[in-house]
């Protein structure tokens, strides 16, 4: 016979019911308070405000750095908005390696949309979208040698389906501040800052607010958290060297040389630019010297790198091959990592272009270029107190000599 509850006791089902009611009440309270807080956090941080960020950047210096992983999703939409607002004379396209070409190096307006392409179809699609809103006078394109390997892209002539503006961005947006807190990406003080401290008015997005990372008014990327890191996550170029040793990803061998379809795909981009009266300038992105040296030691496996300049020249395409950093005098301490050059390295490459192409002199501030190279050799970033008062550290752990306060 089941036990009959006596006075002062409660049946098990009644306890269960009360616990469930309490849990649902706490969940409802958390949703009632948490959702408005998340919305306020995202709004005040500017994470959901591409339009406000672009408007602010037309009035002065401001950074747009949406939350972790979101900068890739928003890069094209942001770049197109900036391109339409600035209507530049010079447009920079390519992978993230070209992200450090900045306005001070140029005498005419520039927009940097590097990072919108990781393949030839994406490069063509980014160009199409940019030209739909404004036609610049010069298009500077940084290409990566692995784009021309079938292992990287088997169908280079396909039409790339780029994400629409905001695609995947709002999904789960209200959870993100809480996720970033639990992941340790933001501190409790930063998480609670909207309650009493507010947010910086010249920063838009979680990364810009919390780390100082973001896109500047010209679209170039400012990696402040990396440049001021006390200790490198990996010394030197260890991550890229591991992939090279394993022949993975961008370092997959291609003994057959650059694909014919890949050359066709790039030639279509190049002559579309030239046919519309613009000046195309193309360079092969530099690699840090340890990577370049290892590739040179095995030329038969990387014919798509060492045969690319000749293959493009056969189509009438002039290429500045900067894959070996010594070509432009680039130092290892001027890289952000093994595959991405910094601001000073970008300055060196721009000087090579200006020396080879006199028509570019009308767009480049050669006095600023010379002063930068004289004052900041061995640095990845040109310090500007209006942007950040900090000094660059030896963030690669290479023993680089950096300026100190």
pLDDT of residue 39: 72
Report how far residue 306's alpha carbon sits from residue 256's, in angstroms, rounded to the nearest whole number.
11
Average pLDDT, stretch 375-395?
Answer: 86
pLDDT at 249 > cutoff 80: yes
Q: Which residues contact 220 (CB under 8 A, 6 or more apart)?
A: 99, 100, 101, 102, 103, 112, 114
pLDDT surpasses 60 at 34 = no
Q: Quick one: pLDDT at residue 11?
A: 58
pLDDT at position 388: 75
Q: Which two tokens stand for residue 39?
A: 């919305």
Taking the mean position of all CA atoms in its chain, how far away is CA 6? 69
Neighbours of 93 (CB within 10 A): 28
60/46: higher pLDDT: 60
Q: What is the mean pLDDT of the chain?
A: 85
DSSP lists the bridge partners of residue 280 as: 139
What's the CATH class of domain 61-375? alpha beta
- 380 vs 154, 228, 369, CA distance in Å? 34, 11, 14
Residue 318 exposed, middle or buried by CB count within 10 Å (0-12, 13-18, 19+):
middle
Query: Does residue 120 carry a pLDDT above 90?
Result: yes
pLDDT tens profile 358-380: 999 999 999 999 999 999 999 99
Phi-psi region at 178: left, alpha or beta (left = phi > 0; alpha = psi -120 to 50): alpha
Q: How many angstroms separate the CA atoms of 173 and 170, rounded?
A: 5
Residue 239 pLDDT greater than 80, yes or no: yes
pLDDT of residue 303: 95
Task: Indicate whether 145 pLDDT > 70.
Answer: yes
3-class SS at 320?
strand
Residue 111 to residue 101: CA distance in whole angstroms = 9
Per-residue confidence (pLDDT) for residue 66, from 0 to 100:
85
Lowest average pLDDT, out of 108-112, 163-167, 262-266, goes to 163-167
Determine the Cα–Cα distance for residues 208 and 68; give it in Å rounded to an integer.
10
Q: How confident is the model at residue 208 (pLDDT cuts 50, 70, 90)?
A: confident
**φ/ψ (deg, to 5) at 214:** 170, 180
Residue 258's closest CA among 290, 303, 221, 224? 303
Between 300 and 212, whose confidence is greater? 300
pLDDT surpassing 50 at residue 27: no
pLDDT at 261 over 80: yes
Q: Between 177 and 79, name the one with better pLDDT.
A: 79
Whole-number Å distance between alpha carbons of 295 and 232: 25
Judged by average pLDDT, the poorest of 14-28, 40-54, 118-132 is 14-28
Model confidence band, residue 26 (pLDDT cutoffs 50, 70, 90) = very low
- What's the chain's length in residues? 405
Q: Are 177 and 210 in contact (CB under 8 A)?
A: no
Q: Pairing mode, if any, of strands 110-112 and 279-284?
A: unpaired
Percent of the chain at pLDDT > 70 equals 84
Q: What string of DSSP letters covers 52-83?
A: HHHHHHHHS--EE-PSTTHHHHHHHHHHHHHH
Give the position of tokens 């200006």: 354
- What's the pTM? 0.87
pLDDT tens per residue across span 48-93: 778 888 999 999 899 998 887 666 677 888 999 999 999 999 999 9
More confident residue, 92 or 193: 92
Spell out the domain ranges in the chain.
61-375
**Order of strands, sheet of 90-94, starting from the edge strand that comes earlier in the sequence:** 110-112, 90-94, 138-143, 279-284, 319-321
Say whether pLDDT at 273 is over 60: yes
Q: What is the dihedral of CA 88, 94, 99, 100, to 10 degrees?
A: -80
Interior/surface letters 253-262, b for 16+ CB within 10 angstroms, e for the rest:
ebeebbbebb
Give the pLDDT score at 117: 92
Coil, strand, or helix at residue 92?
A: strand
- Residue 30: predicted pLDDT: 47
Q: How confident is the model at residue 264 (pLDDT cuts 50, 70, 90)?
A: very high
Mean pLDDT of 142-162: 90
Percent residues over pLDDT 90 in the chain: 60
CA distance 352 to 374: 15
């Amino acid at each position: 016979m089941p036990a009959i509850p006596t006075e002062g006791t409660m049946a098990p089902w009644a306890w269960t019911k009360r616990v469930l009611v309490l849990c649902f009440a706490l969940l409802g309270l958390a949703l009632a308070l948490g959702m408005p807080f998340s919305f306020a956090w995202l709004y005040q941080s500017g994470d959901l405000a591409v339009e406000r960020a672009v408007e602010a950047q037309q009035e002065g210096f401001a950074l747009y750095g949406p939350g972790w992983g979101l900068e890739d999703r928003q890069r094209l939409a942001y770049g197109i908005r900036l391109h339409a607002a600035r209507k530049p004379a010079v447009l920079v396209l390519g992978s993230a390696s070209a992200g450090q070409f900045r306005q001070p190096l140029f005498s005419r307006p520039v927009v940097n949309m590097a990072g919108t392409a990781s393949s030839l179809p994406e490069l063509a699609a980014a160009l199409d979208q940019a030209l739909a809103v404004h036609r610049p006078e010069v298009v500077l394109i940084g290409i990566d040698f692995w784009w021309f390997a079938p292992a990287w892209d088997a169908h280079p002539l396909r039409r790339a389906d780029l994400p629409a503006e905001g695609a995947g961005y709002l999904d789960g947006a209200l959870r993100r501040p809480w996720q970033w807190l639990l992941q340790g990406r933001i501190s409790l003080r930063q998480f609670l800052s909207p309650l009493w401290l507010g947010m910086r008015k010249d920063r838009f997005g979680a990364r810009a607010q919390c780390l100082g990372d973001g896109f500047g008014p010209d679209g170039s990327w400012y990696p402040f958290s990396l440049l001021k890191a006390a200790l490198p996550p990996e010394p030197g170029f260890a991550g890229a060297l591991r992939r090279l040793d394993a022949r993975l990803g961008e370092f997959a061998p291609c003994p057959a040389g650059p694909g014919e379809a890949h050359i066709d795909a790039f030639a279509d981009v190049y002559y579309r630019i030239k046919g519309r009266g613009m000046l195309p300038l193309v360079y092969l992105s530099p690699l840090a010297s340890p990577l370049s040296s290892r590739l040179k030691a095995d030329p038969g496996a990387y014919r798509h790198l060492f045969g690319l300049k000749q293959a493009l020249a056969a189509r009438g395409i002039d290429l500045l091959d900067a894959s070996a950093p010594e070509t432009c005098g680039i130092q290892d301490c001027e890289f952000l990592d093994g595959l991405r050059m910094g601001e000073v390295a970008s300055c060196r490459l721009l000087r090579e272009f200006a020396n080879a192409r006199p028509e570019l002199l009308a767009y480049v501030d050669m006095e600023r270029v010379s002063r930068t190279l004289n004052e900041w050799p061995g640095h990845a970033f040109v310090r500007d107190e209006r942007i950040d008062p900090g000094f660059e550290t030896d963030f690669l752990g290479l023993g680089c000599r950096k300026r100190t306060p």
